[in-house]
Structure 1
Amino acid sequence: MARRTRSPRYVTTLMMALIGVMLIAAFMAEDAAAKGDVTWADLPKGLMLRYLLAMAIGGALAGWLLSGMFGRRGVGGFMLGFLGSVIATLVAGLFGSAAGLLPDLLRDGWSSADLIPVLYGLAVLPLAFAGQPLLFVGWLVLMLLTHLWARRIRGV
């Protein structure tokens, strides 16, 4: 049986889902550590799981939509890949925030005030980098690997 070939879309979808989960988990850990007196038993595990899943979905959707920006040849291709990385990270936060709020929106209905936390999703993932330069470096490495893996699959 022949091995199934992966597409650049598959690569960016998978990697952006992983990156979305990684960044929201770092943001949650930083938030929990900032409270200081919070123990693991005090944390709302259901809500945390919902947002981890939502950011995975948001990241996957962003990766799927922006897969054409990854894996191109040359300096221009790397610049396009970096731009795609930034946009995909922001869009992943937006989609993830909307997906995380979806159960509440379905239960309570939509109001204009709900737009604020959805739009805040644009900033949530980059805020995870605040004060964590190693996390930013990790993000850069993962985005570079995503670009190189997509490039390898494209065969360019």
Structure 2
Amino acid sequence: MIPSWQRSSQGVPRAEDEIASLKTQLSSISDLQSTRIGEAVAAARDEMAHGLAGRVSMVAELLTEIGGKPENSMLNLAEIQANLEFIGLLRGPEPPDLPTEIEALCERRRLIYDARDVFGDLFDRVREVLEIPEVSVTVVGTVVHDDEVDDETDEEL
């Protein structure tokens, strides 16, 4: 028999009431904890998705700004344009003022190299955004191929 001091006012043992109450509280706390964990995981996923979307958007903008192979194209087009202008001067009725032409070509070369540096900076920013490490050729141990040889091979195919 249960002593009277352990009984509730309705005759039910107090320990059992307390155990049931504690079980209910524990269940509620566990549910609350699971809910909070789920919310934290969802928030972290959203934050990661937004961060990745921002990085991808920035890279897309940079790649659009950079284009295909603009560095080589820029240099080739500038060289062709300079050659055509120089040929035009040589064909003209008066001989060209060579010192002036040399000065103009040197200025054009400076602008081309400035554009190449801008391209390099944009490409470096793409590497940073994508977190691509720079690897030197000596570390990898690869052989550097001559682009002209590769181009000739492509044309033969």
For the criterion TM > 0.5, the same-fold answer is no
TM-score by length of 1: 0.33
Structure 2-normalised TM-score?
Answer: 0.33
Structure number with the bigger relative contact order (C-alpha 8 A, sep ≥ 6) is 1
